[in-house]
Amino acid sequence: MSTTSQKPRKASDKSARTRAREFALQALYQHIVGGNEAGAIDAFTRDLNGFHKADSVHYDALLHGCIAQTDEADALIAPLLDRPLAEISPIERAVMWVGVYELRHCPDVPWRVVLNECIELAKSFGGTDGHKYVNGVLHPLAARLRPAEVAASPGREASTGGRG
């Protein structure tokens, strides 16, 4: 689905927001797998190598917003899954949380950018075909959460997955 070149981005080419998403994903993974509290995860993550190059405001919004809204995100994601939510990889689940959060709360980030960034996160950190699964869930959610923006997009339209 990505409309960009298939070459992996070099670390030096990554935007501050891309880095923020990567750090938020790692932090959300700690929350899902370890049950760690957001404050402790945040303190640990901010000490990681390279964090200074991330958009810390966007990272904060993603980490704290996703954790505060896990039930709402899961409620949007679950109907689009082919298995119980508990069987979804923690990485793919966290990537979908990031996508849901950005689609709902970051109108400055175009829906296609949200999808592409989440697909890239899943390719970098997830299982072999996890990015396809993430795309299959987030694509119809984009049409549901941002119908006017998706409808106004030239070219391909997001599938609604049978839900208007």
Q: Is residue 3 part of a domain?
A: no
* Confidence check: pLDDT of 1 > 50: no
Q: Is residue 157 part of a domain?
A: no
Range of the domain at 24: 15-152
| Cβ-contact 74, 113 below 8 angstroms | no
- Considering its fold, how many domains does the chain have in total? 1
Quickly state the pLDDT bin for 159 (edges 50, 70, 90).
Answer: very low
Q: Which residues of 150-163 are buried (b: 16+ CB within 10 A; e: fewer)?
A: beeeeeeebeeeee
Q: Which of 22-26, 77-81, 125-129 comes out lowest in average pLDDT?
A: 125-129
* Confidence check: pLDDT of 154 > 80: no
pLDDT tens by residue, 80-130: 999 999 999 999 999 999 999 999 999 999 999 999 999 999 999 998 889
**CATH classification of the domain holding 106:** 1.10.940.10
Distance of CA 36 to the CA centre of its chain: 19
* Confidence check: pLDDT of 161 > 50: no
Q: Is residue 158 part of a domain?
A: no
Q: Is residue 7 part of a domain?
A: no
Q: Is residue 47 part of a domain?
A: yes
